[in-house]
Structure 1
Amino acid sequence: MIGLDALVGAWRLSREIEDRRAGLAGRLEGTCTWRRDGAGLVQEEAGLLRYGDAPPMQAERRYLWRAEGDGLAVFFEDGRPFYRIGPGRHADTHLCPPDTYEVAYLFGEGRAFSTVWRVTGPRKDMVIRSAYSPV
């Protein structure tokens, strides 16, 4: 399990997207930066996304990370709850009706880690794998 202090700074981000419903594959190469914001951390991702045959495009995301009890709570940029992880709880589910987002964190040695998202429902059938390593 990684804590807020261990996340602060710049990270390399590599993401693979398998969109089973659309029959497309995507890849994002970029950076992820966690910076302090007074209440916790702001996570900012930026990179070049290649998706199917479409021209490459810039992609960006922002999330808020907060310490909660013995774990970490992740919120959308506007403050809506997203998911929570903690010791012994490296996976969670976010319902976005009619679809379901399930995340699992994989922690290795050192600070590097990866996530696997499985997105299912009537509109989506995707697996998204992301690898984060400190710069």
Structure 2
Amino acid sequence: MSEFRPVPDVLAYLAGSWRVERSVRDLGSAEEGRFDGVTVFSPLDEGGLLHRESGTFVWLGVPRPAERTLRFLPGPTPGTADVRFADGRPFHDLGLTTGRHVADHPCSADLYRGEFTVRDPDHWRTVWRVAGPAKNLLLTTDYARVG
């Protein structure tokens, strides 16, 4: 059995609600934070999915509400996605036909490198390594399907 589960259509796989648990580590200072919440992927009228994440982020012991919105649009090849920020700026591509995908996103002088892996029909993970002059972070997010 493969370590990763192939997903022929990433948008079909992601549709629905997911429980989210994210750890955030500052590799420079060794400080750690945590996000707990829910991500809902709902259909967009023009095709693709609207990704809405909301929950609580705890950093240095201080909890605060946190949310973000992304747009997962149909990608250039069948079964893939073109991930965009809420304002339409490009974020990264995403294809999980092998069950694993690596994507880069340059942000000013920092580089975000994300690895996406699918464990089974109801569990997937992202690991973002952020490196550069402004940030040195490791963000690990586990998703579990709700319902």
TM over 0.5: yes
Partner in structure 1 of residue 43 of structure 2: 36
- 62-71 or 120-129, larger mean C-alpha shift: 62-71
How many residues are treated as equivalent by the alignment?
134
Provide runs of 4+ in structure 1 moved above 6 Å. Answer: none
Partner SS state of residue 123, structure 1? coil
TM-score by length of 1: 0.93
- State the shift of 1:13 in Å: 0.3
Partner in structure 2 of residue 47 of structure 1: 55
Q: Give unmatched runs, 5+ long, in structure 1.
A: none
Mapping of 1:65-84 within 5 angstroms? 65-68=72-75, 69-70=77-78, 71-84=80-93
Within 2, Cα distance between the matches of 1:102 and 1:60?
21
Partner in structure 2 of residue 130 of structure 1: 141
Partner in structure 1 of residue 127 of structure 2: 116
Partner in structure 2 of residue 25 of structure 1: 32
Partner in structure 2 of residue 4 of structure 1: 11
User: 1:1-58, CA deviations, whole angstroms, 9 ceiling, x for partnerless residues?
Assistant: 35212222211000000012343100111100000112211000011111123x2000
Amino acid at match of 1:100: L
Partner in structure 1 of residue 66 of structure 2: 59
TM-score by length of 2: 0.86
